[in-house]
Structure 1
């Protein structure tokens, strides 16, 4: 089963007021942390979706043969456009599923990525496998190629979560995790300060 990671890194960082992915963290940048974790996983490859230049992105990842950088020119129209840019490439490369990750979630641990993928491999018919915290679905989310046509019909700032209900919901699996810090996204200066205060 061919599973590719989709690393969404084309946001505008409007709430931070500057490029949050370029902020320093653990001898690198916010944007590189979860990407490094993804590359340690058993994902076949990673699609890194950016908008224009990505000065935060480490040169070692740019050169990595398992990384494909996608410049999504429509990213300003919302997260759905970034997702669709990745899905079109996934279709061309005949990927069986994608694992969607957010570049501003630096604390996602390797075991969550692997548990989500393992669930799909054990039950190949699943439409999706999603992480959750206190019953709320939260990225990372794995999406089967079966869902690609529906995902390509999304628009604006609507993410894949909008499709994880009704008939689709009964065909997926939700994996609960009990540590919110795993999923903390860095949107504001307060979020960043809190992240730095937790560095060991």
Structure 2
């Protein structure tokens, strides 16, 4: 069963005021941390969704080496500022062309998502492919990354505006899925503001 990653990296960083994917965390650009985790997981291919003019300077040089670069593909959006739904649909169109059985949606501004967490979701899917999705929950809230199976792809294709997968999981999906509770919130930290970033600095 083919699992592809859709790595959402086309945001405007409006709340941050600067391109947060370039910001340094432990000597590595923020946007590269979770991408590296995905590339070292059992995902077959990662579709990196970016703006049309993104030069990928936030991707650390070693991820362009052959053992990594063969596993990821940039997908530049044809239109800018169309919201997260447009990014998801753009990635999903490529995944459909590649005959994916499932996609794992991941946010580029969640730097502490790990390979272990990604592989956990993939193993859960392979054990029970009859499910529609496999999601994480922390403190009662569903959070990315989320793995969606192909039976739910038509619903994802219907997303509009800035409506992401979290909104769907929090009330609109009636299909059968599995939700896993986690007690480690570090996995799900997302960096939206300068305050968020400064809390991560030693």
1:115 aligns with 2:120: yes
Structure 1 stretches lacking a partner, 5+ long: none
1:100 aligns with 2:105: yes
Aligned to 2:18: 18
Aligned to 1:61: 63
CA-CA distance at 1:106 after TM superposition: 0.4
Aligned to 1:46: 46
1:84 aligns with 2:89: yes
Aligned to 2:178: 173
- Of residues 104, 127, 132 in structure 2, which corresponds to 1:127? 132
Q: Distance in 2 between matches of 1:120 and 1:168?
A: 17
Structure 2 stretches lacking a partner, 5+ long: none
**TM-score, structure 1 length as denominator?**
0.93
How many residue pairs get matched? Answer: 197
Deviation per CA, 1:99-150: give whole Å up to 9, x if none: 0110000011222111111111100111000011022100000011111111
> Aligned to 1:76, what secondary structure does the other structure show?
coil
**TM-score, structure 2 length as denominator?**
0.92
CA RMSD of aligned residues (A): 1.6
Aligned to 1:35: 35
Q: Distance in 1 between matches of 2:49 and 2:71?
A: 14
Aligned to 2:194: 189
Deviation per CA, 1:28-53: give whole Å up to 9, x if none: 20000011111111111100000021
CA contact (8 A) 2:142 2:170 kept: no
1:148 aligns with 2:153: yes
Q: Distance in 1 between matches of 2:170 and 2:188?
A: 21
> Aligned to 1:156, what secondary structure does the other structure show?
coil
